[in-house]
Structure 1
Amino acid sequence: MADVPILGLDKDHREAAGRLLTSFFDDYERSIPDRPLVPEVDRDVLAGLLANPFPDKGLGVEGLFREINEKILPNSTTVAHPRFLAYVLGPPNGIAPYAEAIAATINQNCNFSQLSPAASVVERAVITWLGGLFGYDERSGGILTGGGSIATLNALTTALHARLPGFREQGLQNSGPQLVVYTSVEAHRCVDKAAALLGLGTDNVRHIPTDDHFRMRVDALEDAIRADRAAGREPFCVVATPGTVTSGSIDPIDAIADVCEREELWLHLDGAYGALFVLSERKREAFAACTRADSIALDPHKLLFTPLEAGCLLVRDRSLLAKAYAFSSSYLTVEEDPLMLDYMNYGPQLSRSFKALKVWSALQAFGVDAFREAVDHMLDLAQYMADLIKADPGLELMTPVSLTAVCFRIKDASAADHTAVLAELIEEGTALLGPACLDGRQGMRACITNYRTTRDDIELIVDRLSEIARRRPATDTPETTL
């Protein structure tokens, strides 16, 4: 047998690694419901991971898996737990670990097609399917990213290149008017971060007030645009949200698109949380106007249950991506191919992992209908939770449920009370929920983006919250602790 490369595994070690990995997958899958939501962190172990030098002589396959099982896994959060509901973060789908292993094995660099011909076509197929969900036609395109925040950053970069003919050469180093971005007070912080990174400045981000359902007010948007034009500034982009991260509220996309068309503004949609609810027949109409957007950010690592990382930017006119990101290099010159795309021309990265494989694999393995069913299941659970809360005298909804974010309060409880309840639920292993602040009112939030969650889980959580609410004395004021 030929000598094994210095960083390779021989047949016996490959078999051992495969056996140990399969065992890890199986053991973890079976243990998920019984694992702690948040680990009781062993700080000595973690300090050792930081302080101890890497060995000169390796631990080998068996030793490595022992380290993982004894040190890494016990100090990791169980994001797949069915009552992990604090964030917009679901568990990976069942085929994902295998797709990830294959992607790592063939290690395609998804920058230009010569290095990754099949990967280029797979990513193009995924982007085409995602764009089709929103009615984008053959002129559209996009790229898979690390997440929705990067997708929004890339979208604003593309918008700047489309707005300013000399932006590539001059950037913002000119005497032109200040550019202004508009979004709602309920928007994700990625809009402010993008403005900061691109040199627009957070002072030039307008946070538009919302209505009583936490949707951007179109009249206030129009007022802000008029005021900025009168002050000599240049409005250039509106970022609307089809599914805000706190309440799941859907901005009035159609009316906002009308404003953008009339004012000649780029319309970007931060759909990282909400956009893929378009998979549900019952929500499709609410997202119909998304087709009018110039760009859309969304996250397969949320509602397609792709393991991190897998975000996506869709652009209605893909030529604008190339205008922003294509640079020539003599050492990367290849002939254009009508079948394959060079994704180095569609985003800021050159070296890129094969993210598309894990998205493509899940859609192939389970079929689109399975994801539609999972989305509807989570929508049903959110409404079920809302109904249980409304029926309980000690609890109250903070806003109607639009998608799967359920924001609620214990009646007459203070902000400190709610913080204490969240900690109590974690400590006793009931659930990991998150805080919510809407219109200055503090409460709690369950975001159901977990296909493992069941009605029993929802009942357990609400029953426990009801018990906590009932133990409050009838004379409590909002300042009284629970």
Structure 2
Amino acid sequence: MSELVLTDEERARAGERLVALLDRYERDLPGAQVLPEPDRDRLAALLADSVPDKGIGVDGLFDRLEDTILPNSATVAHSRFLAYVLGPPNGVAAYAEAVAATINQNCNFWQLSPAASVVERSVLEWLASVVGFPATAKGILTGGGSLATLQAMATALDDRVPGFRETGLQRSAPPLVVYTSVEAHRSVDKAAAILGIGLDHVRHIATDEHHRMDVTALTAAIDADRAAGLRPWCVVATCGTVATGSVDPLDAIADVCVEQDLWLHVDGAYGGLFLLCEEMREPMGGAARGDSISLDPHKLLFAPLEAGCLLVRDGAKLRAAYAFDSSYLTVAEDPLLTDYMDYGPQLSRNFKALKVWSALQAFGVDAFRSATRRTLELARRLGRGIEAIDGLTLLAPVTLTAVCFVVDGASQDEQTELLETLAAENTALLGPVLIDGRHGVRACVTNHRTTARDVDLILARLREIAIDRGSLSSGGGEFQDVDGA
């Protein structure tokens, strides 16, 4: 018997401890500290102890998990964890992850993972239908939106730059230029740097009063670059900016890309899956016109990290960018099964699709439609509440679930102190934001556990803070939700 296999007794004990840990974690969430203060002595001891020559066994491991790891981890599942576009995992996720780890499929070529290949295909085809992509679309699950954008831009290079696979950028040709907005995610810059495009050839286009890419400015920048002898090549539009949740005018940008023969990638890592809500399909409808789109199931599908996604409208272009022949990996092609090594840079890939598929199976799509719609309603409730408090000012319209505001007259240091106070007293974990040169506070309601009671608790505390600053008379009334969301 291998020393790396648990005995029957150890396996039973591990199962008992794991179930107890998961159950206790769930039950303790309402009273948990959203951002616990790190126990530096325990963490230092963890580092000092390093890796033992003799194992501590199942109970020793779970003791260490419970006394050191869990207490020193951010409580992402807390209902007032609202600082980032990061939701808590759904209820079935831990069990799906355990199964994925148990069968340990390598999702590269189908012979090693036939069921996984079909599950991933099922998830990708459903996601493509949500976006509105045609049946020709293909995709791959990635580590997140940043990798999806990188892989999309690599696909665009292969498709739009003749001979790119053979010569790369080592050639005599006009420099390529990529266009995105000043509000775009930093992953666009990072991808340009990694791919050899260079930051000098990334144009950050100005935005309008709603923080959306200015299409007139985009067209002017493209024309100027062509006149200067450069080669416009790709536009990255944003379907939900991280700071404010703004959605670029996707249809108008798509028109420009068609006219100018540019690849259009839509960064939908934050906002793309709001397409599950019928009310968002019109403002985001242009997403279906992208050559590619990135989505993040570890956001609005509440899958545990990591679970990103890249979809390419013409799936043959994705395969053309990543498929390479190798005799030691050759298997017969099958119309049902997919070799995902031919659709992305990785060979060794874990079974990311199982946790996404399992949640869709267990809860159904309607549950996710309801959860995403509720986050939109709660963000609007928070926005209305901010507007109702004298001494607080919204910094941007509440387009999706980002709610950005400023405490009137407060300095950057005072805004930071507010964030620290709210976290320390366990009111909520909110984050900083910089909009149009103004430092403020940002809440992002991307949490299926958040309730109206949580929002009202935050608003009540903000009202108290406004009163303490002298911005509001002590006779002010309580926040009233005018729409009853």
Shorter-chain TM-score tier: over 0.9
Residue-by-residue CA offset, 1:303-354 (whole Å, 9 max, x unaligned): 0000000000000011111111111111100000000110000000000000
Q: Does 1:150 align with 2:184?
A: no
Aligned Cα RMSD in Å? 1.0
Aligned to 2:478: none
Q: Does 1:404 align with 2:401?
A: yes
CA distance 1:195–1:287, change in 2 (3 Å) = same
Residue-by-residue CA offset, 1:57-113 (whole Å, 9 max, x unaligned): 111111100010011111100011000000000000000000000000000000000
Aligned to 1:262: 259
Within the candidate set 428, 433, 437, 2:434 is matched to 437
Give the drift of 1:51: 2.2
Residue-by-residue CA offset, 1:427-471 (whole Å, 9 max, x unaligned): 111110011111111111100000111111111111111111121
**Pairwise mapping of residues 78-89 of structure 1 onto structure 2 (< 5 A)?**
78-89=75-86
Alpha-carbon contact 2:390-2:471 (below 8 Å) kept: no
Give the drift of 1:53: 3.2
Q: Does 1:468 align with 2:458?
A: no
Instruction: With the length of structure 1 as denominator, give the TM-score of the two structures.
Output: 0.97
Q: Could you tell me how far apart the structure 2 residues matched to 1:415 and 1:57 are?
A: 51
Residue-by-residue CA offset, 1:236-272 (whole Å, 9 max, x unaligned): 0000001100100010000000000000000001110
Q: Could you tell me how far apart the structure 1 residues matched to 2:45 and 2:263 are?
A: 50
Q: Does 1:127 align with 2:127?
A: no
Q: Could you tell me how far apart the structure 2 residues matched to 1:265 and 1:154 are?
A: 17
Residue-by-residue CA offset, 1:108-140 (whole Å, 9 max, x unaligned): 000000000000000000000000011111110
Q: Could you tell me how far apart the structure 2 residues matched to 1:438 and 1:336 are?
A: 51
Q: Does 1:164 align with 2:146?
A: no
SS in 1 for 2:284: helix
Within the candidate set 96, 99, 102, 1:102 is matched to 99
Residue-by-residue CA offset, 1:262-321 (whole Å, 9 max, x unaligned): 000000011100000000111111121111100000100000000000000000011111
Within the candidate set 378, 381, 385, 1:381 is matched to 378
Q: Could you tell me how far apart the structure 2 residues matched to 1:409 and 1:9 are?
A: 55
Within the candidate set 14, 32, 35, 1:38 is matched to 35
Q: Does 1:283 align with 2:280?
A: yes
Indicate the larger mover: 162-171 or 343-352. Answer: 162-171
Q: Could you tell me how far apart the structure 2 residues matched to 1:284 and 1:163 are?
A: 29
User: Which letter maps to 1:359?
Assistant: V
Q: Could you tell me how far apart the structure 1 residues matched to 2:52 and 2:224 are?
A: 63
Q: Does 1:139 align with 2:136?
A: yes
Q: Could you tell me how far apart the structure 2 residues matched to 1:326 and 1:100 are?
A: 28
Q: Does 1:249 align with 2:211?
A: no
Q: Could you tell me how far apart the structure 1 residues matched to 2:277 and 2:296 are?
A: 16
**Pairwise mapping of residues 360-379 of structure 1 onto structure 2 (< 5 A)?**
360-379=357-376
Q: Does 1:227 align with 2:187?
A: no
Instruction: With the length of structure 2 as denominator, give the TM-score of the two structures.
Output: 0.96
CA distance 1:474–1:87, change in 2 (3 Å) = closer
Q: Could you tell me how far apart the structure 2 residues matched to 1:359 and 1:143 are?
A: 13
Give the drift of 1:474: 5.7
SS in 2 for 1:456: helix
Give the drift of 1:164: 1.3
Which ranges of structure 1 fall in alignment gaps of 5 or more residues? 476-482
Which ranges of structure 2 fall in alignment gaps of 5 or more residues? 473-485
Q: Could you tell me how far apart the structure 1 residues matched to 2:29 and 2:471 are?
A: 39
Q: Does 1:338 align with 2:335?
A: yes
Q: Could you tell me how far apart the structure 2 residues matched to 1:214 and 1:137 are?
A: 30
Aligned to 2:475: none
SS in 2 for 1:286: coil
Q: Does 1:458 align with 2:455?
A: yes
Alpha-carbon contact 2:391-2:471 (below 8 Å) kept: no
Aligned to 2:476: none
Aligned to 1:304: 301
**Pairwise mapping of residues 160-239 of structure 1 onto structure 2 (< 5 A)?**
160-239=157-236
Give the drift of 1:175: 1.0
User: Which letter maps to 1:254?
Assistant: D
Q: Could you tell me how far apart the structure 1 residues matched to 2:417 and 2:37 are?
A: 18
Aligned length: 472
Q: Could you tell me how far apart the structure 1 residues matched to 2:471 and 2:162 are?
A: 66
Q: Could you tell me how far apart the structure 1 residues matched to 2:289 and 2:471 are?
A: 52
Aligned to 1:320: 317
Q: Could you tell me how far apart the structure 2 residues matched to 1:298 and 1:53 are?
A: 38
SS in 2 for 1:269: strand
User: Which letter maps to 2:65?
Assistant: I
SS in 1 for 2:50: coil
Q: Could you tell me how far apart the structure 2 residues matched to 1:203 and 1:272 are?
A: 25
User: Which letter maps to 1:248?
Assistant: G
Give the drift of 1:165: 2.1
Residue-by-residue CA offset, 1:161-196 (whole Å, 9 max, x unaligned): 001121111110111111000000000000000000
Percent of paired sites with the same residue? 64
